[in-house]
Amino acid sequence: MLREAFSSVVKLHGYLQSRTDARVRDYPLMQSPVQMTTILLAYVIFAVYVGPRLMANRKPFSLNRAMIIYNLSMVLLNAYIVYEFMMSGWATTFTWRCDLLDLSSSPQALRMIRVAWLFYFSKFIELLDTVFFVLRKKQSQITFLHVFHHSFMPWTWWWGVSLTPAGGMGSFHAMVNASVHVIMYFYYGLSAAGPRFQKYLWWKKYMTAIQLTQFILVSLHISQYYFMEKCDYQVPLWIHLIWMYGVFFFLLFSNFWIQAYIKGNRLPAMDHKPNQNGSTPEPVTVVRNGKHCENGHANYANGKIAMGKVKNI
């Protein structure tokens, strides 16, 4: 029985390798799902079990300088990703409606493949958000949503990049998410810089509005697919998943907005020291990568929902 199970796994692995787009097969972490799945499993174990136990009897590290460098580096990286998505089609040849997957090896298609992979790879860099939480003993920030977002998002994106890397309607949400992360990481970079920069963070409330706008744009854009008579060269499963992501997180953040800014059920600020990966103690909602926010990302999948707080997507 074990032999049959092993044989089935080997066959599945071979099948996936044969279906991987040849244009992206040589990129790091794209040879098979085994590598990235191993990394993400190790991440979950570290975030939930190993990390907190290693820090249990240690003092939290002061990592403000590292966080400033990290957050501002992520600003630059995400800005570059947005630019490349635009130049690969969204600001040049795409119609913003039924934009097809490009199966050719044209310079534009290869450029789109590179930025799609870079967006995917950036999700592994973002795992450092959780590392900062652990080392600073901010375990309360490492919620189920935070860990789920940081692990599930790159896992799902491997399938998209490996099977359909060259554009299509599905790449729109990645461009929008990277745009939001530019703003988000800039905010958290300032927050990590210390009390003297608190006066420049008056726009914290609008981070939630930016996240809601992201979900609206993504959901409306992808919803066009359901009303078109014909839109070939798409993968319906990706369309459905993106629509569900957008709607789910829109509802999540709408509830946060109502609770925090309409009903006023926000926790009082305890002080002005940076919290999280550079965020302040007040509730902040951000969705990153569609991240349901983490480091302050609106973690389309990296978030915290507790007593009125939603963190990092």
- The mean pLDDT value for 126-130 works out to 95
Residues 13, 146, 149, 221: which is the catalytic one?
A: 149
| 227: phi then psi, degrees, rounded to nearest 5 | -110, 5
Res 101: pLDDT:
86
Q: What digits encode the pLDDT tens for the residues 18-43?
A: 667 889 988 999 988 899 999 999 99
pLDDT computed for residue 309 by the predictor:
43
173 is catalytic: no
Lowest mean pLDDT among 6-10, 84-88, 166-170, 286-290: 286-290
User: Which pLDDT tens digit goes with each residue over 267-293?
Assistant: 443 333 444 454 433 434 444 444 444
Q: Does position 295 have pLDDT exceeding 50, yes or no?
A: no
Going by pLDDT thresholds of 50, 70 and 90, the confidence category of residue 311 is very low
Residue 306's pLDDT is 40
Task: Average the pLDDT over each of 44-48, 153-157, 161-165 and give the range with the smallest value.
Answer: 161-165
* 312, pLDDT greater than 70: no
- pLDDT tens for residues 78-127? 999 999 999 999 999 999 999 888 888 999 999 999 999 999 999 999 99
pLDDT value of residue 114: 96
Cα(30)–Cα(215) distance, rounded to whole angstroms?
Answer: 28
pLDDT band at 265 (very low <50, low <70, confident <90, very high): low
Tens of pLDDT, residues 189-223 = 998 888 888 888 888 778 878 988 999 999 999 99
State the distance between the two ends of the chain, measured CA to CA, in whole angstroms. 42
**pLDDT value at position 211?**
85
Higher pLDDT, residue 132 or 194: 132
Residue pLDDT, tens place only, 214-258: 999 999 999 999 999 888 767 788 888 889 888 887 887 787 777
Whole-prediction pTM: 0.78
In this structure, of 104-113, 141-150, 166-175, the range with the lowest mean pLDDT score is 141-150
